[in-house]
Structure 1
Amino acid sequence: MAVYKITPTKANLIKSKNSLKFAKKGFELLDKKRTVLIREMMSLIDSASSLQERIEKTFSEAYDALKLANITMGSESVEEIAQSIEKESDFQILFKSVMGVEVPMIKREEKPFTTEYGFFRTNSAFDKAVLSFIQVRGLIYELAEVENSVYKLAMEIKKTQKRANALDKIQIPRYESTIKYIDEVLQEKEREDFFRLKRVKSKTKKKK
């Protein structure tokens, strides 16, 4: 049986009704937020799956080309020329907001590929390997961005779900129960006052 620590007055009844209204509105907003976050996360999961497939395919093509280059050019020559290839330029990690959740965005300058080695020392297999590995690097950046975003959204969904459940399963039923209790007590008091007033009137008439 519930134990109520609130005084059953009209002021507390109004206060409890306002709190119930606020709690229900809060639950609706959290539910909408959770739906949007889940939709966004599922979209990112699809993107991550697609990126992983592209990375695997491009990696496979790159390694096949690299193996052919090692065979046709010699591994030492391939390693020596590879050292002259320009390293990755700096990048920035920015953030965008998705329903209040800060998710990362990797910003880097896209430069046209330029060779630091002479074509007379290489062949098409080596060039294909270089281009494929550069493509893989870009895809890995994209995948890191997407996977990090999925993780952050998942954590926020979990937090939002917990808060929504607390309102739906605890706060809202508690306010409803409190309102029912106060309302019943006030109605009973009104009935008692009505019968008391009726008896007083009846006694007054008899005296007259």
Structure 2
Amino acid sequence: MAELRVPPGRAGRLRLRRGLEVARRGADLLDRKLRVLRARHEELLRAEGEARERWHARLTEAESWLRRGLILGGEEALDETAVRRPAQLEVTWTSTMGVRHPRAAMCAVPEPDPDEPAPANTALVHAEAGYADAVRAGAEYAAAAAAARAVGDELLATRRRVRALRRHWIPRLEAALARVDAGLEQNEHEDAVRRKWVADLQARGR
């Protein structure tokens, strides 16, 4: 890694000290951000897991009713009642330490039109309602997963920045400052020796 280029003398030492102070303060702030993000990420991961379980449960139940309905009425019974009613999704947003992510997702599944043909049997009625619940649960799961992913990405990025500061940038500044301090100390020692030498010469001359 290339050596830091700093102005010579006390100006360089002052710049290094200021840079080191800024780097240490930045690392401390990032450490605090990291703690907040880590706690929030754990909460979002738990919420994602719960939402995934709900979605799987709703989907499994709907598929079970569908199989019963098909056994009772055959595949043609499903074709006769198949009507496309697009759901509407509304996502609300929030932020955690500057990271924008979904807070919740509301999915509205339209109710059946009274003029639509009714399902051929009760099992298909339950299947239709079950799939509507599964769609809503799927939207909630997608929002929870997106939130966990966004905060997790920022958590990793912040961890990399902290590591770069603590393991690389701050040690480089400290090493450069130590070199400058050593050089200034040597110069001051040499100046003191020269002054003493000149003073001794002047004293002998008198």
Same fold (TM over 0.5): yes
For the structure 1 residues 139 and 153, does the alpha-carbon distance in structure 2 shift closer, same or farther, using more than 3 Å as the test?
same
Distance in 1 between the 2:127 and 2:4 partners?
A: 74
For the structure 1 residues 15 and 161, does the alpha-carbon distance in structure 2 shift closer, same or farther, using more than 3 Å as the test?
same
Give, in angstroms, the shift of residue 123 of structure 1: 4.6
Query: Residue 169 of structure 2 aligns with which residue?
Result: 171
Query: Residue 88 of structure 1 aligns with which residue?
Result: 86
Equivalent residue for 2:134, pick from 119, 124, 136: 136
Unaligned runs of 5+ in 1: none
Give, in angstroms, the shift of residue 19 of structure 1: 0.2
Higher mean displacement: 35-44 or 164-173: 35-44
Query: Residue 146 of structure 1 aligns with which residue?
Result: 144
What secondary structure does 1:144 align onto? helix
Query: Residue 15 of structure 2 aligns with which residue?
Result: 15
Give, in angstroms, the shift of residue 137 of structure 1: 0.2
Give, in angstroms, the shift of residue 119 of structure 1: 9.6
Distance in 2 between the 1:29 and 1:148 partners?
A: 26
Distance in 2 between the 1:73 and 1:205 partners?
A: 121
Distance in 2 between the 1:57 and 1:5 partners?
A: 62
For the structure 1 residues 3 and 56, does the alpha-carbon distance in structure 2 shift closer, same or farther, using more than 3 Å as the test?
closer
Distance in 1 between the 2:158 and 2:54 partners?
A: 33
Q: Describe how 1:45-56 pairs up with structure 2 within 5 A.
A: 45-56=45-56
Q: Describe how 1:41-80 pairs up with structure 2 within 5 A.
A: 41-80=41-80
Give, in angstroms, the shift of residue 6 of structure 1: 3.2
Distance in 2 between the 1:184 and 1:21 partners?
A: 19
- Asked which structure has the greater RCO (Cα within 8 Å, sep 6+), the reply is 1
Higher mean displacement: 114-123 or 158-167: 114-123
Distance in 2 between the 1:115 and 1:207 partners?
A: 117
For the structure 1 residues 207 and 44, does the alpha-carbon distance in structure 2 shift closer, same or farther, using more than 3 Å as the test?
same
Higher mean displacement: 22-31 or 151-160: 151-160
For the structure 1 residues 16 and 166, does the alpha-carbon distance in structure 2 shift closer, same or farther, using more than 3 Å as the test?
same
Q: TM-score, normalised by structure 1?
A: 0.82
Distance in 2 between the 1:182 and 1:158 partners?
A: 35
Distance in 2 between the 1:183 and 1:206 partners?
A: 35
Give, in angstroms, the shift of residue 80 of structure 1: 1.7
For the structure 1 residues 8 and 114, does the alpha-carbon distance in structure 2 shift closer, same or farther, using more than 3 Å as the test?
same
1:30 and 2:25 matched: no
In the alignment of these two chains, the number of paired residues is: 206
Aligned residues of 1:104 and 1:148 also touching (Cα < 8 A): yes
What secondary structure does 1:6 align onto? coil
Distance in 2 between the 1:153 and 1:121 partners?
A: 44
For the structure 1 residues 24 and 37, does the alpha-carbon distance in structure 2 shift closer, same or farther, using more than 3 Å as the test?
same
